[in-house]
């Protein structure tokens, strides 16, 4: 019986006749020869299929799968199903492995028993002039225990540099084919819940930079897809699962970790906000700190968290970002605040962001329109009425039902025009859904309403509405 290889190398390819030979040559040149390469021709229409078939005919370690075009995630999954090695690697068909990559990985695996996930630096090869340069990570090297939150800020893991134990990989499942650019990013998040990644401070791979690569043809889509994957992950994981190797019963460790997570939540340049502002990450923190089962360590951090939210609410600006933090500040203005996490709909968030951009707020609207249509099957909403503006509206609800239902229905319709809506109702925990902030009525001795700032309209649904601009 043939021994199983140390390394399985997943190589998806689509119309890379020009590059696939060099990629396979870099695998054949490995100083560690215990490998198999599973090359998936993802419906190429050029000569890629013939090139890889010829390589496979000359070396039995190269196996080929031909399939109709299904995208990168589909091709990677097809290769992963065929993988037999103990350690999984990934090589894009326009990139290269350094000759010692597999040997270097093997040494790190032997020196770090129990570690299932490795990644490294990479070279950049500029095709236009042939220049090669050593490159740092795309994001900051995360502090211990903060690998998942740091991914919400920047993706610091180069996909072709990874080396992952096959059993650990199979435990979390395959690539999620809903993502067209962030299939790797979404997988790293899932893997990091149970596996701490170990960084190898060596340059083990070569990332080719050329005009034909997908990230260059539609670079904005990478950010949009990354935000979508990050939001989806937050929708399904509590704070404890975001920092699984932090001892939250240790006051010093908890205080440091929470401060750093909140720093990321407060940074509007974080990848997590590429589809628009939302409170998902800070809500996971507040949910933990103010939860009914929160322990003394969490309780001890509440005042600091309140102060941080308030400082964000006081920042200058009149954008959706500011409105999110002002609603959170109102939510904090209780004797015993409650925060209910409600799943953020990334598609609806993106549609709202697109409407905002069409009104001249934020970045260019066209890339987001293309992303929504091409990958989400969504068209833009109707053009807002001429002269419309992102007015701030506060609805005061005296009774929970049916006034709350009516308020939320009205708020949903108004938000279609980019209006910023807050529904205030007694005895209701803070939550944020479809860009509508629902907050409890602040007690009279806590001065909660001023955190909204100036609003254009305040409605008391049990009384005749006032149309006079007020300071809430």
Contacts by residues 110-115 (CB-CB < 8 Å, ≥ 24 positions apart): 112/198, 115/195, 115/196, 115/198
What total number of domains does the chain contain? 1
- Give the per-residue pLDDT at 465: 45
Domain contains 258: no
Q: Is the dihedral of CA 36, 37, 40, 45 positive or negative?
A: negative
Domain contains 59: yes
CA distances from 36 to 63, 290, 342 (A): 8, 51, 45
Q: Are residues 216 and 124 in contact, defined by beta-carbon separation less than 8 angstroms?
A: no
The two tokens of residue 280 are: 């998902």
Residue with tokens 């989806």: 232
- The DSSP annotation for 236-290 comes to T--HHHHSTTS-TTSHHHHHHHHHHHHHHHT-TTSGGGTT----HHHHHHHHHHT
Q: For each successive 10 residues of the chain (472 residues), what is the average pLDDT?
A: 86 96 98 98 97 98 97 96 97 97 98 97 90 90 95 96 96 94 96 97 93 73 96 98 96 97 98 97 97 89 97 93 95 91 94 87 91 87 59 81 78 81 88 88 77 86 50 44
Domain contains 164: yes
Neighbours of 446 (CB within 10 A): 13
- The DSSP annotation for 341-402 comes to -----HHHHHHHHHHHHHTT-SS-SHHHHHHHHHHH--PPPPPPPTT----EEEEEESSSTT
Domain contains 267: no
Structural domain span for residue 14:
7-215
CA distance 315 to 367: 28
Torsion of CA 70, 73, 77, 83, to 10 degrees: 120
Would you say how long the chain is, in residues?
472
* CATH number of the domain residue 57 falls in: 3.90.550.10
Q: Are residues 317 and 344 in contact, defined by beta-carbon separation less than 8 angstroms?
A: no
Domain contains 190: yes
Domain contains 394: no
Domain contains 253: no
- Give the per-residue pLDDT at 399: 64
CA distance 429 to 33: 59
């Amino acid at each position: 019986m043939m021994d199983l290889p140390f390394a399985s190398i997943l190589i998806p390819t689509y119309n890379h006749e020009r590059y696939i030979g060099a990629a396979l040559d870099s695998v054949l040149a490995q100083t560690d020869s215990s490998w198999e390469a599973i090359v998936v021709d993802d419906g190429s229409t050029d000569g890629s299929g013939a090139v890889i078939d010829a390589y496979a005919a000359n070396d039995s370690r190269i196996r080929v799968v031909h399939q109709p075009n299904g995208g990168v995630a589909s091709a990677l999954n097809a290769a992963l199903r065929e993988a037999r090695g103990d350690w999984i690697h990934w090589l894009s068909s326009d990139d290269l492995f350094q000759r010692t990559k597999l040997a270097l990985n093997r040494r790190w695996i032997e020196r770090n028993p129990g570690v299932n996930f490795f990644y490294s630096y990479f070279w950049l090869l500029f095709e236009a002039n042939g220049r090669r340069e050593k490159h740092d990570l795309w994001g900051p090297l995360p502090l211990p225990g903060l690998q998942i939150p740091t991914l919400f800020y920047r993706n610091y893991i180069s996909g072709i540099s990874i080396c992952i134990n096959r059993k650990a990989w199979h435990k979390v499942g395959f690539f999620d084919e809903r993502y067209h650019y962030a299939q790797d990013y979404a997988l790293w998040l899932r893997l990091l819940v149970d596996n701490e990644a170990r960084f190898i401070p060596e340059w083990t791979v070569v990332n080719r930079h050329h005009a034909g690569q997908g990230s260059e043809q539609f670079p904005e889509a990478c950010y949009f897809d990354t935000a979508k994957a990050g939001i989806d992950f937050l929708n399904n994981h509590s704070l404890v699962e975001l920092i699984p190797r932090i001892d939250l019963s240790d006051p010093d460790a908890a205080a440091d970790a929470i401060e750093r997570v909140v720093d990321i939540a407060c940074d509007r340049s974080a990848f997590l906000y590429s589809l628009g502002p939302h409170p998902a990450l800070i809500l996971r923190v507040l949910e933990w700190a103010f939860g009914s089962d929160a322990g003394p360590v969490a309780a001890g951090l509440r005042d600091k968290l309140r102060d941080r939210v308030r400082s964000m609410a006081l920042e200058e600006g009149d954008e959706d970002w500011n409105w999110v933090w002002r609603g959170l500040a109102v939510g904090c203005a209780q004797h015993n605040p409650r925060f209910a996490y409600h799943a953020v709909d990334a598609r609806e968030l993106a549609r709202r962001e697109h409407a905002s951009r069409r009104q001249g707020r934020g970045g260019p609207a066209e890339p987001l329109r293309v992303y929504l249509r091409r990958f989400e099957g969504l068209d833009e909403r109707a053009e807002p009425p001429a002269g419309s503006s992102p007015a701030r509206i506060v609805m005061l609800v005296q009774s929970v039902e049916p006034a709350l239902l009516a308020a939320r229905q009205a708020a949903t319709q108004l938000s279609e025009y980019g209006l910023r809506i807050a529904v205030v109702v007694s005895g209701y925990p803070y939550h944020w859904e479809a860009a509508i902030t629902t907050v409890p009525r602040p007690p009279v001795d806590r001065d909660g309403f001023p955190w909204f700032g100036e609003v254009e309209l305040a409605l008391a649904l049990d009384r005749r509405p006032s149309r006079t601009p007020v300071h809430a």
